[in-house]
Structure formats: C-alpha cells, structure tokens
Amino acid sequence: MSTQKHDIELQSEQRYVAGLYARLDSERERVKDRYRATLRGPIDPQDGGTLVDRDAEVRALARQMTRLDVADAGLCFGRLDSLTGERLYIGRIGILDENTEFEPLLLDWRAPAARPFYVATGASPENMHLRRQFRTRGRRILDFTDEVFGRPGADERGGRGDTALLAAVNAPRGDGMRDIVATIQAEQDEIIRLEHQGVLVIEGGPGTGKTVVALHRVAYLLYTQRKRIEHHGVLVIGPNPAFLDHVGRVLPSLGESNVVFMTVGDLVPGLSVTAEDGPDAARLKGSLSMLDVLHGAIADRQRVPEQPLPIDLADTSVRIDAETAEWAIQEARASKQPHNDARAVFTDVITWVLTERAIAKIGRGWLTRDDRAAWEHLRAELLDELSDHEKFTTALDDLWPMLTPETLLAELYTSHERLQAAGGDRALWRAEGDAWTVADVPLLDELVDLLGRDKAADQAAEQERREEAAYAAGVLDLMTSREDMMDDEDRLMAQDVIGAEDLAERFTERDNRDLAERAAADRDWTYRHVVVDEAQELSEMDWRVLMRRCPSRSFTVVGDLAQRRSVAGATSWDTMLKPYVPGRWIYRPLTVNYRTPAEIMAVAAALLAEFAPGVTPPESVRATGVEPWARRVTPDELHAAIDDFIREEAAQEGTSVVIGPPDVPGAVSASETKGLEYDAVLVVEPERILADGPRGAAELYVALTRATQRLGVLHLGPLPKALAGLTP
C-alpha cells in the first residue's frame, strides 16, 4: 500500500472510530441520566416497587456505567474483512446501529463472530480476507498494520502477524498487569473460549500468559453466562497480595467488577495470618491426614468423667457417672450433627438419666410410673431446676464443651498431650497457639463445619429482628388509630402503604456494600466460578476449602508444576483434582513465552534441565539482543553493586527488582515475585537460593524468569553450573 493510500485509509478509519466514540458518549449520558433518575425517583408500592428493587436497578446501572467508562481506553483495536466483503470492527464492547435494525457497528471481542480476529491464519483464514490491527493512543489511531490472507508469502505455519504483539511485549512494564484483549493469540483464544463446565487446568512455563488468559476467560464466561455467574460472582485466588494487586486491574479494564481477589490466607474472614510454618508442619497441615487429627481433637473434648460428678438438687442428689456420659456421647455422635449442635443430644441424654434417677429417689414408696401425670409434673420441676443449676452446666461444659475453631486449634497446638490424643505429629506443636499461619486457614475453615454454628448468636439476631417488627407494628397501630377530618372511604391508611416488616427495615442499617465486598466478608458465600493461580502451591487441604466455595465445581486452574515451591503443593494435577471432579477436569498447555526474551530463557532452561529434566521449557517469541550478565563480588562490594543496579535502572523507563536471600538489603524473595514481571531483574547470590531447601531450584527458576528485558546476577561464591555461561 502506498503512503498516500495508507494515509487516506488512516483518516477513514479515524472518522469511523470517532463515530464509535460519539455513540459511546451518547450511551454513557443516557445511562447516567437513567441512573440519576432512578436514584431520585419515588417508590410506588401500588406498582409493587420496593427499596430493594430500586437498589438492584441502581447497582445494575452503576455496573453498566463502569463498563462504558472502561471501554474508553482502546475502544476499537481492529477490523476484519471477510471474503464476501463484509467488514467487522472489533473492540472492547459491542455497539449497535439503532438506525439499521441493530446491525453491529462494533463487535465485542468475546462474540463468536470476533473469533477469527484471533485465530485466522494464512493456512486457515476462517473465510477472512484481511485482518487490520490498530495502534491507538486515547481516541486517536496512530497507525495500522494489515495481514492479507491467502496471498503469496502468507504465514503458513499457523501463526499471525507479530507487529501488535511485539509492540505490547516490548513495551516497558507499568505498575500492574495489562489486558491482552487486542493481542490474544490463537492458542490463548482457544482456551479463553473453551466451554468446558468443570475444571480447566492451564499449565504453562514462565511468560506464557497463563494468568492473563485465565482472567480473560473469566470475562468471556461473564459475557456468555452472565445470568448464571454475575449474581454470585467470581473468586480469584493468588499467591500473595502483591500478585493480586498486579493482576487486579485486568478484569475491571474489561468492564467486569463482580470479582473477589484473595489469597488462601484470606479465606476465613477476620483472621490475621502472622506466622510462618516450618517445612514439616506445612507438609503435615496440608495433607488430608489432618482430617483425622481434627476429628481426633474434637473427640478428645467429648469426654467421660474420671470420677462420678455429684449434682445436688433441692430434694435429692444424683451423679453423672462414666457409663451415663459414654452413652450420651455415643448418642450424640450417632446424630451425625456437628459437635456444637450435637451437644443438645448429649445434654438430653444426661438430663433424662438424671431426672429418671431423681424421680425414682424422690418418689420411692409413693410414686409409680403408672401415675404419669405426677411423674411428668415432677420431671418438669427437675428440668426447670437443672436449667439454672450452675454445677450441672459446669459439668456439661467440662464433658462436652462448646468450641470455636480458633479455641480448639490453638489449644491443640500448645499441648503435647492433646496432640498425642488426637493422633497429631509432634511437629505441629508450637508455643503460641493462635499465631496463625496460611496452612492453618483451611483447618480453621474445616472446623467451622465440624463444630457447627453458634446458634445462640443466630437466635439473638432473629429475636432482635422480631422485636423490631413488633415495635414497628405498634407504630402502625398508633398511626391508624388517630382520628382526622377525612371520611373513612377517602382515608389512605398507613398499612395500605407499608407493612410492619417493611417499616422495621427503615430502622435497620442497610447493607450498601457491592457484591465483591459482601462476598469477601461472608465465609458461607458460594461462587459460580473460581480462578486459582499458582495452583501448584496449594495443598490438599487448600483444595477442600475452595471446593466448598464453589459447589458447581467450575474452576480455571493455572499453574506450572516445575515452579512448585511448597512442600505440600501439587506433584500432579490428577492427585489434587480426582477426589473432587473425577472425569470432569481437562488439561490445556501453553507453550509460547511472551515475556522472557530468548537470551534470558536459555539460562533458565539450563537450570530447568537440571531439576526437572522431563519438562520442556516454553519457546520465547522474541529476542532482544541483550545478553544476561553475571559478576562475582566480595561481601564488601555487594551493597555498592546493588546500589549501582538500582541507580542505573531508575534512569530508565520501566520497573526493576532485586531478588535474593532475606538478609540481602533491598531484596525480595523469589516467592514474593511469583506471577509478576519486571523490565530488569538483579538476582543476588543465586548459589544460596539454590541451596535453600528442597525447592531452591524452583525458587531460582522463578527469579531468573521475571525479567522482560534485562537480567543481571551478583554472586559471592561459585556460580551454579546452570548459570556458568552468563557473560561476565
């Protein structure tokens, strides 16, 4: 295409995109006007309107405004021309032409008709003649590139033009992950649009885009299954807060906000993780064998008295002996109720035995079972006495105590005797029982179900609600009993407008939090879809928590077994998933590295070959011509060398990080950078990272593959063999 023709085409495309933005602005104003009108508008009970209905409409309009606002950035990023001459523009959202029976002016990237934009190749053009990709800034098209399918020299390898892709991967990194909606590749698109209803496992080496593919898959599912998913939301699990902050912008940039971002440590609302387990404790806590320990810990608190416990009543004295307590325990356990709920069964058995014995003693010589009325009258008096009997209540608390997950687990950890009784390993002991670790979270969550709810608190809340409704009913009575000057047939009574329950709600503080806030604070919230990133780090117990959070078992699982660091993590996907979704999980690999340049990946691949020889490293899509380097320094030179790196990188555009052992000033650990990417990375003392435990090699592999442009290494001792080829 000549320069003149190119410029004419560019102007034409700019006019078209300007028209799209005009439609976007118009629609945005229309939705804002409706939002303001709904917010201010009256509620007409005669038409069935309620505050709840209005709140729902306001929230829906707010979400719609958000989608329109985020579409402003890169609204339209390409065009498809079919063999029949049809022209389709592809963008972040769909825009219809209301003047021509709603023909699409802009096609949402998730729509089926947009798929050829991502998968068409010279070998398989998908009935397309041309793909045009725009390079934009704000609302302006800076340039475009064309791929004509079927012409001589067209790509027959199944690839696609790399201009837009290379521009994206070579761009300096910012503060957060960017969406790839304009540059999705064919193997990524296949996974994003996969209609599998169960668990999808996406495995890929460093830089293959598995995280961003998983997030775009969420956006696609929300587009195709919005009614099923939106009102319950999506949960995204990541390895650490820095990672979640890094990826947290992707879905909002695609107009999706009903998403909760958490680490495993956040899954029990209100719990604060303050400590870290050693390898042995982490391995034990992550194993399903901990279920036996938890059951054993609960059973240990359901006990019989060593000596009979006397209960002195007004007219006689009875005892709780071991035989009675054992019978009560068996009956309570046989009820299959959680521990705290089953206490009622335990109490009923104990109470029945004590009242029977007491009646027999009190009525000796004058009362028989044939006199049922007298017998039951005496039982009622005894039951009333026992309900307020301090020593009886103390005995019940000792034999079958009400327990909380935190209390049970903390007391288990700090007692060698309790650990032994529960079948727990000595490695689980610790001095501070409530110094919670990430591995404690799934155990505490499990105990919520094993112990049961605090029914007293639930009953108190229900009683408060009933009292508020009763008060409101009294207010209505006062309102309707007043005389006025109107005739009865003309009078609009208060109860015609609002009922007692509705009036009571006026005195109750409303929950105005959005779905994500409400879901994050509710342990019992269930999601319609869950994304698990760095899934190789999750233990068997972690998976039990997540399966409870998603009863439909709809998951997108992202990971790389070669990068596993956790001693309790996955050694195979089948081991972790088969107990929950046998036959319902599928596997899809990603093989192309879009982040790590070939020069750096060659170094990382050499290390991978040493500790995971059966794993094929991903193939880098680009080379930068910049070789990674290594430099040996003395301890006295180390700090100055780190400072030099930081100062030099500060003068360049982009991001940088220093990765090293915990005692290196200014360095972060490799585990803290999992899933993140930087323009430049300095790895300090790789020999020590490699020597740090059984997963040191995986730690070093992670560290080496965070860089998108430049990699440097500082070492004090001999350089690890895999890094020996680095440029001095």
For residue 98, the model assigns a pLDDT of: 77
Nearest to 439 by CA among 270, 275, 578, 671: 275
For residue 489, the model assigns a pLDDT of: 46
Distances (CA, A) of 265 to 546, 592, 642, 720: 12, 32, 33, 34
Burial profile 409-420: b = 16 or more Cβ within 10 angstroms, e = fewer: bbebbebeebbe
- Are 681 and 709 a contacting pair, CB within 8 Å? no
Distance from C-alpha of 506 to C-alpha of 361, rounded to nearest angstrom? 57
**CB neighbours of residue 27 within 10 Å:** 17
For residue 478, the model assigns a pLDDT of: 61
Nearest to 569 by CA among 662, 728, 699, 417: 699
Distance from C-alpha of 704 to C-alpha of 724, rounded to nearest angstrom? 14
For residue 165, the model assigns a pLDDT of: 66
Q: What are the E-state strand segments in 302-354?
A: 309-312, 317-320
For residue 122, the model assigns a pLDDT of: 81
- Any long-range contacts for 491-500 (C-beta under 8 Å, 24+ apart)? 497/45, 498/45, 500/469, 500/470, 500/472, 500/473, 500/476
For residue 60, the model assigns a pLDDT of: 81
Distance from C-alpha of 418 to C-alpha of 637, rounded to nearest angstrom? 52
Q: How distant is the alpha carbon of residue 520 from its chain centre?
A: 9
Distance from C-alpha of 670 to C-alpha of 689, rounded to nearest angstrom? 9
Task: Give me the phi and psi of 265, to 5 degrees please.
Answer: -65, -10
Distance from C-alpha of 276 to C-alpha of 289, rounded to nearest angstrom? 20
Distance from C-alpha of 699 to C-alpha of 662, rounded to nearest angstrom? 13
**CB neighbours of residue 490 within 10 Å:** 8
Q: Number of helices (H) and strands (E), helices first, in the chain? A: 28, 20
331: left (phi over 0), alpha (psi -120 to 50) or beta: alpha
Looking up tokens 């899934």 gives 535
User: For the chain, which residues score pLDDT lower than 50?
Assistant: 154-161, 483, 485-486, 488-498, 503, 505-508
Nearest to 678 by CA among 703, 698, 641: 703
Q: What are the E-state strand segments in 562-644?
A: 585-590, 592-593, 619-620, 629-632
For residue 64, the model assigns a pLDDT of: 84
Q: Output the CA torsion sign for 595, 600, 601, 607.
A: negative
